[in-house]
Chains A and B, each alone.
Chain A
Amino acid sequence: MTEKSTMKTIHIEPITRVEGHGKVSILLDENNVVKQARLHVVEFRGFERFIQGRLYWEVPVMVQRLCGICPVSHHLAAAKAMDQIVGVDKLSPVAEKIRRLMHYGQMFQSHALHFFHLVSPDLLFGFEADPAIRNVIGVARKFPELAVQGVMMRKYGQEIIKATAGKKIHGTGAIPGGVNKNLTIEERDVFLKDIDQMMAWCRSALKIAKDYTLQHFEEIKDFGSFDSNHLSLIRADGAMDLYHGNLRAIDAGGKKIFDQVNYNSYRDYIAEEVRDWSYMKFPFIKSLGTEKGWYRVGPLARVNTADFIDTPEAEAARKEFKNVTKDKPNNITMAYHWARMIELLHSGEKINALLHDGDLQGTDLVVKGHRRDEGVGLVEAPRGTLFHHYRVNENDQVVMANLIVSTTNNNEPMNRAVSRVAKDYLSGKPQITEGLRNHIEVAIRAYDPCLSCATHAMGRMPLEITLIGHEGQVLERKAY
């Protein structure tokens, strides 16, 4: 990892994952001051190429095998693109609502998993606590009620996915032009029975995140923080919408960079820079260029871009959140957790409303249209905006696929967070201390990245940190 000198030729083929590990390298100058810190992601699968030749209707089912953590997001983004391929611009109300229920179920389970299984150990035990207890098994021993809440909330979301998609992981519910099943009365009643309990747990999780943020405000406000642009889908009236909308981007001060952009023209606005040292590309807003155009996505960005939230409890929570920054965008990395819990509550409210909607028992599942040869589908996945784009030939075969996944959109921000923390917690001491490692982990974790996927779902995030001296020599390498 000693910069250019170790560049390989193209035939030495690189790969997908190193046991799902993220890697951080920190480059020091002669005074042992951090010159540069990088988060290397070593994911490469070749999906865009090997999907070519497959039939378009297989894609929503296949593509989720990219990621078992939030397969529903890929399933739905691909299905939305394939709606366009089959010439359908508007689904039946039943299909749209079933898909939304599936999506909110996904948001619910993923946010619960992230908060309870992954982040709560840091918040409950402190960043500096002994890693032997600072994991979800430690939480289960010391705060068993909380652990059970996390498990049961995740289960609730997973059961909703199963009822709408057919399976908890890698379902088949969304098909081009609609869905393949509705929600029966019996299925609905099971969810209605527990919804009040779920809402109560959402509120208490939100309170933990909010209280934590406000009580530790001074210490976390600069932690891994920096100003950035923010991007998300937005509904036509400016409301947060996790399933569908147009693109909005704002700058760090809240000024709109673009707004209500039809996502079919995403290519006119977004490009991805390839950098030598990571397999994950670096997306940026074209009009601002690579230096200034990068942006954040995910819960923090979404709460920042939205004018309001269309469910009452989450809207009240959003207002409290915005008060902290006097209505300006919040650029605090650790505020992701609070924003995520606002979305958890919002998803709970949406699920509740949908369960009371008789359309879910309707039978008009699929709409037909005139075949087209190109389709774009976007959703707000738990970790941020997810882009799918396909072209299909007259034999129904995919000839082009382009994916920009949520975690990729946060590539530059995660690198900035790592740089900031490395500078704040290392400078002067050429050593990887436990404290440094903890803090780097905590900063990356705020983004809930899928780079090590479930690896960090139940415990610590595995991370390899390399410290490099000014002559390119490796001073220390630690894998955790």
Chain B
Amino acid sequence: MQKPKIATASLAGCFGCHMSLLDIDDRILKLIDLVDFDKSPVDDIKEFTGRCLVGLIEGGCCNEENVRVLQEFRKHCDILISVGDCAIDGGLPALRNGIPLKECLTEAYITGPTVYNPSGKIPSDSEIPLLLDRIYPCHEVVKIDYYLPGCPPPADTLWQALTALLSGKPIDLPYELIKYD
């Protein structure tokens, strides 16, 4: 029987949610018996190879590339989950929502105390995707089926949610696994 597939992505996140997934520790060896990883930083498959049962999204959308990836995940995954506060409400990166981007760039590349920039230019590169006007939580861009809060959600929360979905059971998380600081 073919194993179900999981895909994961980090958009505007810090990879802490992916690290929390690694914190399931030796259960990771069980997980690779239960599922195949499709497009994911875990194996670096770049393009989807087929339909996935579950897609885990870390981080909100801060640029056009994030939006494209998120839409692609929606297209290929039966169940799409916003993992962590960044995906759910933008998280820490969303602090920039109230500040003109130009000010952030100026601080980093022109006025910062150790900056050496005789040309006064801010780096730019044609390969770089455009920034959005603000950070968007994932559900404002595509339909999201589940939300796992936390920064990051604890490893046990991720494990229980995943194993429930893989066995077709409803996700039933005890209070300790969804309380957070």
Interface residues on B, range: 35 or more
Q: How far is the CB of A244 from chain B (nearest CB, A)?
A: 21
Q: Do residues B109 and A46 form an inter-chain contact, with CB atoms below 8 A? A: no
Sample of 8 more A-B contacts, CB < 8 Å, known A46-B101, A167-B181, A454-B19: A10-B105, A15-B65, A40-B127, A155-B23, A272-B116, A274-B115, A274-B122, A460-B44
B120's closest neighbor in chain A, by CB?
A274
Given the interface pairs A275-B123, A458-B41, A458-B43, the reply to whether A50 lies near B95 with Cβ below 8 Å is yes
A460's closest neighbor in chain B, by CB?
B44
- B63 at interface by CB-CB < 8 Å: yes
Given the interface pairs A49-B107, A453-B10, the reply to whether A270 lies near B114 with Cβ below 8 Å is yes
B115 contact from A46, A167, A271, Cβ within 8 A: A271
- A45 at interface by CB-CB < 8 Å: yes
Q: Do residues B124 and A66 form an inter-chain contact, with CB atoms below 8 A? A: no
* Residues on A with beta carbons closer than 8 Å to the beta carbon of B130: 12-13, 15
Please count the residue pairs between chain A and chain B whose beta carbons lie under 8 angstroms apart in the complex: 230
Within 8 A of A (CB), among B88-118: 91-93, 95-96, 98-99, 101-109, 112-117
B14 contact from A48, A68, A452, Cβ within 8 A: A68
- A258 at interface by CB-CB < 8 Å: no
Given the interface pairs A8-B125, A19-B65, the reply to whether A169 lies near B19 with Cβ below 8 Å is yes
* Residues on B with beta carbons closer than 8 Å to the beta carbon of A135: 43-44
Q: Do residues A49 and B14 form an inter-chain contact, with CB atoms below 8 A? A: no
| A-B complex: 5 closest residue pairs judged by Cβ atoms | A68-B16, A46-B104, A65-B92, A6-B126, A455-B41
Given the interface pairs A13-B101, A453-B10, the reply to whether A67 lies near B93 with Cβ below 8 Å is no
Q: Do residues B131 and A13 form an inter-chain contact, with CB atoms below 8 A? A: yes
Q: Do residues A274 and B26 form an inter-chain contact, with CB atoms below 8 A? A: no
* Residues on B with beta carbons closer than 8 Å to the beta carbon of A20: 10, 15, 41
Cα A350 to Cα B17 with chains together (Å): 29
Total A residues in contact with B, Cβ cutoff 8 Å: 83
Q: Do residues B43 and A459 form an inter-chain contact, with CB atoms below 8 A? A: yes
* Residues on A with beta carbons closer than 8 Å to the beta carbon of B14: 65-68, 71, 453
Cα A172 to Cα B15 with chains together (Å): 18
- A1 at interface by CB-CB < 8 Å: yes
* Residues on A with beta carbons closer than 8 Å to the beta carbon of B131: 13-15
* Residues on B with beta carbons closer than 8 Å to the beta carbon of A461: 44
Q: How far is the CB of B108 from chain A (nearest CB, A)?
A: 6
Q: Do residues A170 and B151 form an inter-chain contact, with CB atoms below 8 A? A: yes
Q: How far is the CB of B83 from chain A (nearest CB, A)?
A: 12
- B32 at interface by CB-CB < 8 Å: yes
Cα A342 to Cα B170 with chains together (Å): 47
Within 8 A of B (CB), among A240-265: none
Q: How far is the CB of B132 from chain A (nearest CB, A)?
A: 9
Cα A287 to Cα B149 with chains together (Å): 49
- B20 at interface by CB-CB < 8 Å: yes
B155's closest neighbor in chain A, by CB?
A168
Q: Do residues A49 and B127 form an inter-chain contact, with CB atoms below 8 A? A: no
Q: Do residues B128 and A18 form an inter-chain contact, with CB atoms below 8 A? A: yes
C-beta contact mask, B121-164 vs A, less than 8 Å → 1, else 0?
11111111111000000000000000000011001000000000
* Residues on B with beta carbons closer than 8 Å to the beta carbon of A458: 22, 41-43
* Residues on B with beta carbons closer than 8 Å to the beta carbon of A400: 113
Pick the interface stretch among A277-285, A317-325, A328-336, A422-430: A277-285
Q: How far is the CB of B110 from chain A (nearest CB, A)?
A: 8
Q: Do residues B32 and A1 form an inter-chain contact, with CB atoms below 8 A? A: no
Q: Do residues B114 and A402 form an inter-chain contact, with CB atoms below 8 A? A: yes
Q: How far is the CB of B157 from chain A (nearest CB, A)?
A: 12
Q: Do residues A14 and B116 form an inter-chain contact, with CB atoms below 8 A? A: no
Q: Which of A13, A18, A23, A402 has the most CB of B within 10 A?
A: A13
* Residues on A with beta carbons closer than 8 Å to the beta carbon of B13: 68
